Amino acid sequence: MKVKICGIRTVEEALMTAAEKPDFIGMVFAPSKRQIDYSTAREITDALIDSGIKTVGVFVNPTKDEADRAFSETAIDYIQFHGDEDKALVEQYQNRAIKAFPSNSELSYEERFDYKAEYILIDSPREKYYGGSGTVFNWSELPLELLDRNRLGLAGGLNPDNVDKAVKNVTPALIDVSSGVEKDGKKDQELIRKFIKNVRGGAHD
């Protein structure tokens, strides 16, 4: 099971997070309190280049030009589409794409998993922003028997105290967190360490 720590804003936060060895580190280019620009993202991706950690740029409804610029102006490995992007746009990036849907999307789960992307990430219903709300949804809504668990990502209100239950009940391929590893609005190394330990350590009841 892979772990993604999202919403990294500075090189300092990136290096502190990298020390805890997540699989992915995400940076938000969409409107958000965590939004950063390409030049800061370039500094972060350069700082992580030899870390073995994959980097992800998170967008909401980007144009193809904006998506391509993120790849050319930074060294991101993946793009996360967190809006209502056309299937055709997402599929141009396929194994470099993560496609997020809110749990209450109008699309059926069959339609969501029909998008050709490395991971299909199910997040909580949208609030002020398209993601990063810190709100959990009811995982029992997920029709797990119908889903391709090898591509399933889970997000939305995960934190060190509930992630072991998410791992046990949902067994996704990817676990994604932003708010739940922050203290006073900033990433917190101790919370990140505990979160990753509880994903990988299998501290299930």
Ligand X SMILES: O=C(O)c1ccccc1N[C@@H]1O[C@H](COP(=O)(O)O)[C@@H](O)[C@H]1O
Q: Is residue 13 near ligand X by the rule CB under 6 A?
A: no
Q: Is residue 137 near ligand X by the rule CB under 6 A?
A: no
Q: Is residue 134 near ligand X by the rule CB under 6 A?
A: yes
Tell me the two tokens of residue 92: 């141009």
Catalytic residue flag (residue 84)? no
Q: Is residue 123 near ligand X by the rule CB under 6 A?
A: yes
Query: What is each CA distance from 18 to 5, 43, 144, 181, in whole angstroms?
Result: 9, 14, 31, 14
Return the residue matching tokens 């620009």: 37
C-alpha 47/C-alpha 134 separation (Å) is 27
C-alpha 182/C-alpha 139 separation (Å) is 22
* 195 alpha carbon, distance to own chain's centre: 14
Catalytic residue flag (residue 6)? yes
123, 176, 184, 205: the catalytic one is 123
Q: Is residue 199 near ligand X by the rule CB under 6 A?
A: no
Distance of closest approach, residue 177 Cβ to ligand X, in angstroms: 5
Which residue in the set 13, 180, 187, 196 belongs to the binding site for ligand X (CB under 6 A)?
180
Comparison of 8 and 109: residue with beta carbon closer to ligand X: 8
